[in-house]
């Protein structure tokens, strides 16, 4: 072969033009590396998901006749580090050219730039042919603007890709059906079992452990349930259309002890690893809806599509517009460390124990658990965004920095001071109570602000506003909160209660 082509673990796009035809001049290279298992402590299921998906992808390419070299984590010639790996293989294979696909993470982008510059052979980078926008497109779109409004970007995407459009107008006359998508789930019988793909991972678990990879989280009965091939991911997508889409929007923001997944698609890992492309997911869902308009309302479908062609692309654009500075932003100068119970789920607050335990058990929590339970608490408590980032980047099956950091540091912690969101996502117990049944099973009382049983969210909420008065009071979307705060009868007692809770945060 004359060309070495690198494929990273999150570049599992079987439809990439690289693979359109067999080429004896090309050798593909994939490797499970300590460099990637160790840059943060990952959930065990996340490591399994990547290794299993990479292995099945490699097999598929080999089956199609491509030449591919694969280093498993315990292979004796595996250098475990990207530069060493590329140098070793360039030399061994005697190739004249090195090619790679543009990585999604800043860290790897820097590294690959550097490595290629240092090679004495020719090199070239290719698009991953996955996203609907180019890396720097969002930056261009908002050029000269102070705020990057997701909504205007989203509408542009709808038009550009002709998704849910009726000529130049949005179908059914509206761009946004968000206000219809906010219910708590009242009837358990609506719930459906997730479409899972059980696999026995005993051997691979042993290998990972033997290699010394440190992980967090659990795996139940050694059985792994996530889709790890394109075929399986397509089955999860079909199942979503047929069984979950009908209620997706309605219960998108619901919180319940009854079920971890509700009507969410569980497709984030399949998309982030590029086994599925965002446009095919969206088009499949749109088509399914067109054929079932009598049973599925537009609000379910629009809510879903907005997440993918709106939020997902938007977050990626913000990442490339704002990195590397973004990873250091700490608007509120928060300093606290995350309580230890974020790694055990052992807290008396039911919303947090549910959301954290579920994350440790499944490497999954849905959006509102991430944003309005764990994220909300960390922000109210004043946890350092680095700590929060590390936790989110490790624990979730879908956590890759470009989408994790923008959601965590930006949307959830407002550490960017308002690039991704116009105001911090914080709430007292009131919101959590309204969205479901967590408060019904809690040791604390959601209605109380004072006293031993008062829900910590209630006093911490006001403490957050009080201590950040200077930074937030002038924000027109927030002013109202300060008027309420200043009228509170027991303001001093409430703030004292918050101080007390913060002092004993490990015991909450
Ligand atoms: P569904 O609810 O079925 O949504 C469908 C798809 O929409 C998702 O698969 C995802 O690709 C996309 N999507 C939805 N919301 C967002 C969003 N805010 N940003 C980008 N894409 C979105 N998502 C990740 O993929 N990786 C992360 O590391 C990640 N970290 C997050 C951290 C925090 C603090 C928060 C608040 C959100 C985070 N999200 C992240 C977004 C979202 O929570 C997950 O994409 C979603 O829960 C994945 O589950 P699902 O596939 O069942 O999603």
Give the span between the Cα atoms of 8 and 99, in whole angstroms. 12
Give yes or no for residue 266 CB within 6 A of ligand 1. Answer: yes
Which residue minimizes the CA distance to atom 42 of ligand 1? Answer: 367
Instruction: Give the chain's residues under pLDDT 70.
Output: none
Query: Which pLDDT does position 226 carry in this prediction?
Result: 98
Q: What is the DSSP string of 279-290?
A: HHHHHHHHHHHH
Give the span between the Cα atoms of 293 and 209, in whole angstroms. 49
Query: Which pLDDT does position 140 carry in this prediction?
Result: 87
Distance (Å) from CA 313 to ligand 1 centroid: 11
Distance (Å) from CA 366 to ligand 1 centroid: 7
Query: Which pLDDT does position 411 carry in this prediction?
Result: 97
Query: Which pLDDT does position 210 carry in this prediction?
Result: 96
Query: Which pLDDT does position 24 carry in this prediction?
Result: 94
- 422 DSSP 8-state letter: S
How many CA atoms lie within 13 Å of 293's alpha carbon, on the beta-carbon side?
A: 8
Give yes or no for residue 384 CB within 6 A of ligand 1. Answer: no
Give yes or no for residue 377 CB within 6 A of ligand 1. Answer: no
Per the document, the length of the chain is 508
Q: Where do the DSSP E strands lie in 116-214? A: 122-126, 165-166, 169-170, 199-200
What ipTM is given for this predicted complex? 0.99
Ligand 1 mutation target, pool 367, 396, 419, most atoms within 8 A of CB: 367
Query: Which pLDDT does position 178 carry in this prediction?
Result: 78
Q: Determine the atom of ligand 1 nearest the C-alpha atom of 401.
A: 28
Give the span between the Cα atoms of 319 and 135, in whole angstroms. 9
Write down all domains in the chain, each with its CATH number in brackets.
3-126 (3.40.50.620), 137-322 (1.25.40.80), 340-507 (1.10.579.10)
Give yes or no for residue 367 CB within 6 A of ligand 1. Answer: yes
Tens-digit pLDDT profile for residues 81-103 = 999 999 999 999 999 999 999 99
Query: Which pLDDT does position 248 carry in this prediction?
Result: 96
Tens-digit pLDDT profile for residues 118-135 = 999 999 999 999 999 999
Using DSSP's 3-state secondary structure scheme, residue 377 falls into helix
Ligand 1 mutation target, pool 268, 275, 411, most atoms within 8 A of CB: 268
Determine the angle formed by the axes of helices 106-118 and 82-93, rounding to 10 degrees: 40
Determine the angle formed by the axes of helices 202-210 and 44-63, rounding to 10 degrees: 110
Sequence-distant (6+) residues with CB within 8 A of 273 are: 9, 10, 12, 49, 50, 53
CB atoms < 10 A from the CB of 179, how many?
7
Give the span between the Cα atoms of 296 and 164, in whole angstroms. 14
Query: Which pLDDT does position 71 carry in this prediction?
Result: 98
Query: Which pLDDT does position 283 carry in this prediction?
Result: 98
């Amino acid at each position: 072969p004359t060309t070495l082509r690198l494929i990273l673990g999150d570049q599992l796009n079987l439809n990439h033009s690289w693979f359109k035809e067999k080429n004896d001049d090309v050798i593909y290279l994939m490797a499970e590396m300590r460099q990637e298992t160790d840059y943060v402590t990952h959930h065990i299921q996340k490591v399994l998901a990547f290794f299993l998906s990479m292995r099945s992808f490699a097999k598929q390419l080999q089956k199609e006749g491509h030449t591919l070299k694969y280093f498993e984590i315990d292979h004796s010639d595996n250098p475990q580090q990207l530069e060493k790996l590329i140098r070793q293989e360039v030399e061994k294979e005697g190739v004249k050219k090195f090619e790679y696909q543009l990585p999604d993470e800043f860290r790897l982008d820097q590294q690959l730039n550097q490595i290629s510059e240092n090679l004495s052979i020719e090199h070239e980078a290719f698009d991953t042919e996955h996203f609907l926008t180019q890396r720097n497109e969002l930056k261009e779109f908002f050029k000269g603007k102070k705020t990057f409004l997701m909504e205007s970007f989203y509408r542009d995407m709808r038009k550009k890709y002709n998704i849910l459009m009726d000529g130049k107008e949005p179908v059914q006359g509206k761009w946004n059906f968000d206000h219809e998508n906010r219910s708590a789930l009242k009837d358990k019988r609506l719930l459906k079992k997730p479409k899972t793909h059980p696999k026995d991972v005993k051997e691979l678990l042993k290998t990972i452990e033997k290699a010394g990879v440190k992980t967090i989280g659990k795996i139940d009965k050694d059985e792994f349930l996530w889709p790890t091939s394109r075929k399986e991911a397509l089955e999860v997508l079909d199942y979503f259309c047929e069984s979950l889409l009908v209620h997706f929007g309605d219960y998108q923001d619901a919180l319940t002890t009854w079920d971890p997944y509700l009507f969410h698609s569980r497709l984030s890992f399949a998309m982030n690893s590029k086994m599925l492309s965002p446009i095919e997911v969206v088009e499949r869902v749109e088509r399914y809806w067109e054929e079932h308009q009598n049973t599925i309302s537009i609000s379910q479908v629009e809510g879903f599509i907005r997440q993918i062609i709106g939020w997902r692309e938007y977050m990626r654009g913000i990442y490339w517009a704002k990195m590397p500075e973004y990873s250091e932003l700490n608007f509120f100068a928060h300093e606290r460390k995350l309580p230890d119970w974020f790694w055990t789920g052992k807290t008396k607050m039911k919303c947090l124990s549910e959301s954290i335990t579920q994350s440790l058990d499944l490497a999954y929590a849905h959006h509102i658990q991430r944003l309005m339970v764990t994220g909300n608490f960390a922000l109210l408590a004043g946890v350092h965004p680095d700590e929060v980032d590390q936790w989110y980047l490790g624990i979730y099956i879908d956590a890759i920095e470009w989408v994790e950091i923008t959601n965590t540091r930006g949307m959830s912690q407002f550490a960017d001071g308002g690039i991704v969101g116009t105001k911090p996502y914080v709430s007292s117990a009131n919101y959590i109570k309204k969205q479901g049944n967590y408060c019904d099973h809690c040791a604390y009382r959601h209605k109380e602000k004072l006293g031993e049983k008062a829900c910590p969210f209630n006093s911490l909420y006001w403490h957050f506003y009080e201590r950040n008065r200077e930074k937030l009071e002038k924000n027109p979307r927030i002013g109202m909160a300060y008027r309420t705060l200043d009228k509170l009868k027991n303001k001093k007692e409430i703030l004292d209660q918050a101080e007390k809770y913060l002092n004993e945060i490990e015991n909450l």
